[in-house]
Amino acid sequence: QRGTMDPWEALDTDLRNIGIITGNAETGAAAADDVAERLEALRALPAPEGRPTIFLVDSTSDTILSSGSFGGPQGIIDAAGARSATEDVADTWTSVSWERLAAEDPDMIAFVDYGEQTVDDKIAALKAHPASRDLKAVRENRFVNLPYGMWVSSPLNIDAAETIRAVLEKHGLAPETGLTPQLDVTELQLGGNDWL
């Protein structure tokens, strides 16, 4: 049943269980411990004054595919010190309306990088749609683009959270801490590396 476990608790449980099942209990536990330590450090950073809102865009069509409170992105965005615009949607990956995006007027928009619709396609759709073209995040190009594997439950979730926090700081949406994410996503072969 979806939504029965906090995303970070689910990841910790999965890493430890996978280690046990594959006969690599120590490796699984070490990976889980590393995520837990980095998560604790991230959560200890100074909190933004009034959590900035992030709207996650997986893809666009007549609706927007996003993620609700039961998905990994909820934990990632929370850990970064922000608020997910769809935190009240009791689902994992789900469609929401363009009007929902307009009503939220997020401080930043995050993209899931994969598939045929590129980040540039998604940005073009946001800049053209009457519901989103005048939103502050769209006008000011406050975007972050991360690969699919960083958004779904995996050890890369902590890298996503660190990156989101660093981008919030870059845009003045969180206190400057000098955080350097352990994974340099600019080295990845992504479309839209300018959107970091």
The three-class DSSP label of residue 30 is helix
- The rounded percent of the chain whose pLDDT value lies above 70 is 93
Q: If you search the block for the tokens 């045929």, which residue do you land on?
A: 116
The torsion of the CA quartet 100, 101, 103, 104, rounded to 10 degrees, works out to 120
Lay out the sheet containing 53-57: strands in order across. Answer: 83-84, 53-57, 108-113, 143-147
Q: How confident is the model at residue 191 (pLDDT cuts 50, 70, 90)?
A: very low
Cα separation of the two ends of the chain? 34
**pTM, entire model:** 0.92
178 Rama class: left (phi>0) / alpha (psi -120 to 50) / beta? left
Q: If you search the block for the tokens 């992504």, which residue do you land on?
A: 190
Please say if the pLDDT value at position 72 is more than 50: yes
Q: What is the DSSP letter of 124?
A: H
Considering the chain, what is the average pLDDT of its residues?
92
Q: How confident is the model at residue 193 (pLDDT cuts 50, 70, 90)?
A: very low
